Structure 1
């Protein structure tokens, strides 16, 4: 009866942590376990830069600026054209080749080249700034997830130890070696360890969700709760 009561209380606490009503029902398909971070920071950074829409947009604009600069530079070069002309001279038909050279006024186009160069340099700075911002967001989220994972290791160890002590306390209580109050203290210890574990599990999943937002990709495919709606 005590165990059943504890389970109901733990479910209610977990529902509150998940932002649901205390009466919300769910079944645990398997033992609760924390998600593992299988990607290192370098891989996470590369994933984020490949999917971040803001970074991709800035890179696209940079390519446009580069093409515009190339176009302005080409406009400063002479252009050649070759043609043929039919001539009638002394009642004889003949053809002559025509070559034309268009030499632009370089000084008149120099300002456009300088403007295109400045725009390209400015856009390169925007790309670098966006890359730095994206990478920092990933790094921050990754550190939070790593911290949550390490905390989960401590909570799991504490829960395992409290369960072992609870079993021993039950044996000693049945043998009359400890009184009921001491046994209840051990029950409360187990409940606290379970609550800490569930809270740590929630924090870990939340931190991984934030990491997934930072890299614009899913890092896990499993769900550990079979919810009943």
Structure 2
């Protein structure tokens, strides 16, 4: 994007000779009055309700309101409930049976005790019922293995929450800083457009007397259009950043979120070895892949235990329906593992374990690459900032001040004046971009290491 447009303007050599004194004084006054400086504080680009908020305060509100974070917290609670469920023993089974209708007597539910004569005659037309109580017993430690797997699933949910939190914080800090510096750049462009519009008006006055060629005014109009296009682009970026912050904050109102300040960028660069160690220790995505190994191992252990059939035990009481009047029996049942020995599930669990092991090695390489990339970028911006000579920013401000004085005194011509103003504007933009790049690269290093270095 071209921020500054080269303008072809009047030079000091023939300006006084063509324009009358009163018009010359008007032109100089208008141009001098239109001299702009970068605003000290950013201003919202549109007139609207404004929410002035610092980055720490905004972070607290996002952590309390963000739906994505709340949803991930619920996943932890869900996984905790699964641990409770996995630890519960199976319920016993109660079975009852009786005679619904006796066709010999025509009675429904004949539960009355038979007479002594019927008992002596071994005729039982009433009084029959059977009760059975069974309990499934999990063998091969299946219940403890189910609990262990559920605990691993909860650990995965907790790590996923940390990763969501890390990503949200980075997105918040990055968007907030982009908004802050984009508003500063927008203010600079708006001030420059206002100055050049006044300059164009003075040229239109001069054109009416024949002192300025029409194409000069046209060229200035074209440069103003270019400034307006740049302003529109920045407003579009600011609108996108506002939308991102509203989503993070879950804000339904149309208030303009106004960034009040950016935390100071530290010039202390951590050692590369410390950054790498912190990333390998603290990165939740790496911890997630490592826990997936544990999870796959526990899943494999459970599938192997499922080769052993469960045991069903029970007792049976039967009245008037078995070898003797009141029969009490002991029951033991178990499936015979003849065909189904859980072979497929075991094989799938073994392959999953191998797959996640390869994923850990790949993720370690990704983490190291991320840290090196972020470290190199931050180091480059530190070098750029540290190589600026002392008093550089003060001298940038002096460019516009001295240019205005020289132009008012007619020591320099309009072409030289605009060249100095362009230099001032580009230097201001470079400084804004450098500060943003420094902050963004610091936050990126914090993100890839999941460590608060800055």
Residue in 1 that maps onto 2:211 = 177
* 1:51 corresponds to: 65
Change (3 A) 1:218 1:44: farther
DSSP 3-state at the match of 1:195: helix
How far does residue 134 in structure 1 lie from its aligned partner after superposition?
A: 1.9
Map 1:80-159 → 2, pairs under 5 A: 117-159=151-193
Q: Which segment drifts farther, 64-73 or 171-180?
A: 64-73
| TM-score, normalised with respect to structure 1 | 0.54
Per the alignment, residue 299 of structure 2 pairs with none
- Once residues 202 and 108 of structure 1 are traced to their aligned partners in structure 2, the CA distance between those partners, rounded to angstroms, is 59
Between the aligned partners of 1:32 and 1:121, the Cα distance in structure 2 is 47
Q: Does the alignment pair 1:211 with 2:225?
A: no
> Does the aligned pair in 1 maintain the 2:179–2:238 contact within 8 Å?
yes
Q: How far apart in 2 are the matches of 1:111 and 1:199?
A: 58
What is the CA distance between 1:199 and its match in structure 2?
Answer: 2.7
The aligned counterpart of 2:236 is: 202
Q: Which residue of 1 aligns with 2:76?
A: 62
Query: 1:67 Cα deviation (Å)?
Result: 6.2
Aligned equivalents of 2:214, 2:245: Cα separation in 1: 46
Once the two structures are overlaid, the 10-residue window that deviates more, 33-42 or 149-158, is 33-42
| SS at structure 1 position matched to 2:52 | coil
For residues 66 and 135 of structure 1, what CA distance do their matches in structure 2 show? 25
Equivalent residues of 1:138, 1:215 under 8 A apart: no
Determine if contact 2:51/2:255 at 8 Å carries over to the other structure.
no
**For residues 70 and 211 of structure 2, what CA distance do their matches in structure 1 show?**
69
Relative to the length of structure 2, the TM-score reads: 0.30
Change (3 A) 1:170 1:50: same
Unpaired segments ≥5 residues, structure 2: 1-44, 90-140, 257-454
Residues 86 and 150 of structure 2 are in contact (CA less than 8 Å); yes or no, is this contact kept in structure 1? yes
* Structure 1 residue 161, shift from structure 2 partner: 1.1
Distance in 1, Cα, partners of 2:219 & 2:146? 81
- Please give the per-residue CA displacement for 1:164-200, whole angstroms capped at 9, x wherever unaligned: 2112112222333212222222222333222322332
For 2:206 and 2:196, the matched residues in 1 are separated by 15
Q: Is the 8 A contact 1:148 1:207 kept in 2?
A: no
Shift in CA distance, 182/72, structure 1 to aligned 2, threshold 3 Å: closer
Indicate how the Cα distance of structure 1 residues 192 and 108 shifts in structure 2: closer, same or farther if over 3 A, else same: closer
Larger radius of gyration: 2
Greater helix share, structure number = 1
Aligned residues: 161
Q: Is the partner of 1:161 in helix, strand or coil?
A: helix
**Aligned counterpart in structure 1 of residue 202 of structure 2, from 154, 157, 168:** 168
Secondary structure of residue in 2 paired with 1:177 = coil
Aligned residues of 1:47 and 1:215 also touching (Cα < 8 A): yes
Question: Please, which of 195, 206, 221 is the counterpart of residue 187 of structure 1?
Answer: 221
Distance of 1:177 and 1:187 partners within structure 2? 17
Which structure has more relative contact order (CA 8 Å, sep 6+)? It is: 1
Distance 1:204 1:34 in 2: 14
Counterpart CA distance in 2 for 1:121 and 1:130 is: 14
Structure 1 residues not aligned, in runs of 5+: 1-30, 76-106, 223-229
> Superposition RMSD on alpha carbons, in Å?
3.6
| Greater Cα shift, 197-206 or 33-42 | 33-42
Counterparts in 2 of 1:183 and 1:58: CA distance versus 1, 3 Å: closer
